[in-house]
Amino acid sequence: MSDLLLQLDPLKQEAVSAMAAATDLPALEQIKGRYVGPQGKFTALMKQLGSLPKEERPAAGKVINAAKTELEATLAGRRDELELKAALPKEPVDWTAPGRRRAIGRLHPLTQVTEDIVRAFRKIGFAVADGPEVEDEHHVFDALNTPADHPARDAQDTFYLATKDRPLLRTHTSSVQIRAMKNQPPPVRIVVPGRVFRRDNADATHNPTFHQIEGLYVDKDVTVGDLKGTVEFVFRELMGKDTKIRFRPHYFSYTEPSLEIDFTNALVKKLGKDWLEIAGCGMVHPQVFENVGYDPEVWSGWAFGFGIERIAMIRYGVSDIRLFYENDIRFLNQF
Ligand code: DAH
């Protein structure tokens, strides 16, 4: 074999290992120049092809071309790797940092309000829970201590599905309390934003589907004082520091005592009102704890529920609930 071909293989190996050892793109370009550039060692070898005896040239040319192709492929592969490496961040990245603001579009006002409510509860350790919109009577009514003859179960108020086991569209997010407690042992600290359905005819303040947020806190020695403090904190976060809260006795089958929450602030005064009714709440009824297998002698807790549209309407001064569902861009653009 000619001298030339004997040199070829070691040179190729040398070039391949040099490329593999290059740690960035400029280094790789230098190596390229050193071996396959116009002044490169490999190029010099190719030039010697002409000095071989004529009959050896075709075979030698073939070998050299194959080696050249291999070197080019190695070079391209290493270039891809180093480009990728160059594109990756050099510093450690904080993936929890806020992202860029979206360039176009924005969140629906109801989504914005929901996120604000959830954010307020997250600050004090609540997690978000979820449950199905198509439910059964057990989770929506029975387990919440709402007996079969209770007016809330009237078909006038509830959408039942026309199948034999009577699934229904949940009339409130309270059904998720039952699911959450059945799924985990106490303590529980959850909020549940979600869509609910009632056979209300659409008018300025009612719609057959709307959104609620449910909260549930279960632990040892939970008191009405905890409930009041939490509700006050959250409404101040949502509606401003000047917000005041008032509790009135009420009735819900799943709480005892049950309370209704009114609030007031400058916005409410502007509407010409002293107080606005905003939420229902109470201490979880011992029967509800029994129904999910929690011992009511050990555990106590409170729950609340309120309408998200109602909060949004007060906050933004919207007087017709239907505006939230019409998706008129002139309305949505204002949020
Ligand atoms: N489920 C009630 C409603 O739809 C709201 C509510 C009241 C939820 C009291 C609760 C509660 O968890 O304790 O009007």
Residue type, 63: V
pLDDT range class, residue 118, cuts 50, 70, 90: very high
More confident of the two residues 200 and 251: 251
Give the strands of the sheet with 300-307, arranged side by side. 127-128, 188-197, 209-219, 300-307, 276-284, 255-264, 244-252
| Domain presence at residue 153 | yes
Mean per-residue pLDDT for 203-213? 91
| Domain presence at residue 95 | no
pLDDT at position 22 over 60: yes
pLDDT at position 331 over 80: yes
Angle at 258 between CA 321 and CA 117, to 5 degrees: 45
| Domain presence at residue 48 | yes
Q: Are residues 210 and 308 in the same domain?
A: yes
Average pLDDT of every residue of the chain? 91
Q: Are residues 177 and 225 in the same domain?
A: yes
CA atoms within 13 A on the CB side of 295: 4
pLDDT range class, residue 157, cuts 50, 70, 90: confident
Task: With beta carbons less than 8 A apart as the criterion, state whether 181 and 292 touch.
Answer: yes
Q: Is the peptide bond before 151 cis (omega within 30 degrees of 0)?
A: no
CATH for 232: 3.30.930.10
CA distance 35 to 123: 62
Mean per-residue pLDDT for 153-170? 82
More confident of the two residues 248 and 206: 248
CA distance 142 to 288: 9
Rounded to the nearest whole angstrom, what is the distance from the C-alpha of residue 153 to the centroid of ligand 1?
A: 15
Q: Are residues 82 and 23 in the same domain?
A: yes
The pair of structure tokens assigned to 240 is 């401003």
| Domain presence at residue 93 | no
Q: Are residues 143 and 289 in the same domain?
A: yes
More confident of the two residues 149 and 19: 19
Task: With beta carbons less than 8 A apart as the criterion, state whether 117 and 213 touch.
Answer: yes
Mean per-residue pLDDT for 175-188? 97
Question: How many structural domains does the chain have?
Answer: 2
Name the residue range of residue 29's domain. Answer: 3-87
Mean per-residue pLDDT for 137-164? 84
| Domain presence at residue 179 | yes
Q: Are residues 69 and 156 in the same domain?
A: no
pLDDT range class, residue 98, cuts 50, 70, 90: confident
For residue 53, give the 3-state DSSP assignment.
coil
pLDDT at position 115 over 80: yes
Residues 6 or more apart in contact with residue 173 via CB below 8 angstroms: 131, 192, 193, 194, 196, 212, 213, 214, 305
Cβ neighbours of 136 (radius 10 Å): 16
Q: What is the pLDDT of residues 279-296, one digit of tens each?
A: 999 999 999 999 999 999
Q: Are residues 122 and 47 in the same domain?
A: no
pLDDT range class, residue 2, cuts 50, 70, 90: low
Give residue 185's pLDDT: 97
Residue 195's φ and ψ, nearest 5 degrees, are -90, 140
Nearest CA to ligand 1 atom 8: 305
Task: Give, for ligand 1, the residue of 145, 150, 174 to mutate: max count of ligand atoms closer than 8 Å to Cβ.
Answer: 174
pLDDT at position 177 over 80: yes
- Is any ligand 1 atom within 6 A of the Cβ of residue 172? yes
Give residue 1's pLDDT: 53
Q: What is the pLDDT of residues 47-93, one digit of tens each?
A: 888 888 888 888 888 888 888 899 999 999 999 999 998 888 888 88
Rounded to the nearest whole angstrom, what is the distance from the C-alpha of residue 303 to the centroid of ligand 1?
A: 7
pLDDT range class, residue 236, cuts 50, 70, 90: very high
Task: With beta carbons less than 8 A apart as the criterion, state whether 264 and 243 touch.
Answer: yes
Task: Give, for ligand 1, the residue of 179, 283, 304 to mutate: max count of ligand atoms closer than 8 Å to Cβ.
Answer: 304
| Domain presence at residue 102 | no
Q: Which of 220, 198, 224 is nearest to 209 (CA)?
A: 198
| Domain presence at residue 174 | yes
Q: Are residues 233 and 267 in the same domain?
A: yes
pLDDT range class, residue 147, cuts 50, 70, 90: confident
pTM of the model: 0.71
Q: Are residues 21 and 160 in the same domain?
A: no
Alpha helices, H only, 158-220? 175-183
- Is any ligand 1 atom within 6 A of the Cβ of residue 304? yes
- Picking from 52, 87, 122, the residue at the C-terminal end of a domain is 87
Mean per-residue pLDDT for 191-215? 92
CA distance 31 to 51: 26
Q: What percentage of the chain carries pLDDT values higher than 90?
A: 67
CA distance 176 to 181: 8
| Domain presence at residue 245 | yes
